[in-house]
Amino acid sequence: MASIDLHFHSHASDGALPPAEVIARAAEREATLVALTDHDCTRGLADARAAAAAHGVDFLNGVEVSVTWNGKHTVHIVGLGIDPEHAALKAGLQSIRDGRVQRAQEMSDSLARIGIHGAFEGAMAVCENPEMVGRTHFARFLVNSGEVRDVRTVFRKYLTPGKPGYVPHEWARLADAVGWIVASGGMAVIAHPGRYDMGRTLIERLILDFKDAGGQGIEVASGSHSLDDMHKFALIAQRYGLLSSAGSDFHAPGEGGRDVGRTDDLPPICQPVWQALQERIIRAPRAA
Ligand code: AMP
Ligand code: MN
Ligand code: MN
Ligand code: MN
């Protein structure tokens, strides 16, 4: 287990914990370098940064941008070492958030058609940042109301393509998302590539488009990856000259997946992203 975690969420997006609590939890698990990467939103970063300094953990400002690539594929791009005050990045993220409440209303209408009522209100009730309402909040509503056993089951039966509650949505364009991240001084990283419903050819096309746009990294160690995925993407990173990242994708205690601060060590063939991000790392004061 490595002590570096460059992908996880707070309640500024669809995590369950406040930013300072997620960082405290990472520190308890002896993380030495972390990046908070909320979906399409940077408002948790200030609290997270302060908590990281207080706990002696080095910190990178991060974000996870929702993208629609090649017409229909939702792809997530992590930005590491970004400047959250950069105007183009801020405006771009705002434009993504703008569509979420309307989409949530449509998701709720879709669930109502199969007899599940009050989902919009129910999702909003468990959503700290209303403009970031998304599928995870609907999943928590469905679990809390006793409709579904757990969040995993929700995503098997609802909220995914072809299932009740799914509403297709057009997110940012890949070149725009990568462009905002890079313009703000950050590094763009393809999140959890093992999760995409794409064969080898499509993944390779995605990587080429991503590199053309200025992207440099890919998650090799991810809470969403099996060990096989990790080794497969380590080889892909090597072949395409991409830097390798590591992140738990932690959202909430008890929802499954990796805990924050828990990532696998990168295979030795990998070039870690953090070596290229040294000057973007916000160093914590160390106890003497
Ligand atoms: P949204 O951006 O509103 O479409 O929500 C996407 C979020 O839903 C992801 O970031 C995950 O947190 C969650 N999610 C999507 N698919 C699954 C899944 N199969 N299992 C658990 N969580 C999922
Ligand atoms: Mn999420
Ligand atoms: Mn993601
Ligand atoms: Mn994530």
Q: Which amino acid would we find at residue 8?
A: F
Q: Is the pTM of this model over 0.85?
A: yes
DSSP state of 7: -
Ligand 3 mean position, distance from CA 283 (Å): 26
State residue 159's pLDDT score: 98
d(CA 218, CA 159): 26
Q: Give per-10-residue mean pLDDT for the chain (288 aa).
A: 89 98 97 98 98 98 98 97 98 97 98 98 98 98 97 97 96 98 98 96 98 98 97 98 98 94 97 98 84
Q: Please report the pLDDT score of residue 223 as a whole number.
A: 97
Q: Supply the residue whose CA is at minimum distance from atom 5 of ligand 1.
A: 135
Is the distance from the beta carbon of residue 55 to the nearest atom of ligand 1 less than 6 Å?
no
> What was the pLDDT predicted at 286?
78
Determine the Cα–Cα distance for residues 284 and 23; give it in Å rounded to an integer. Answer: 13
Q: Which two tokens stand for residue 125?
A: 């009730």
3-class SS of residue 39: strand
- Contact status, residue 77 vs residue 182, Cβ threshold 8 Å: no
Nearest CA to ligand 1 atom 11: 136
Residues 6+ apart with CB under 8 A from 194: 222, 224, 225, 226, 229, 232, 233
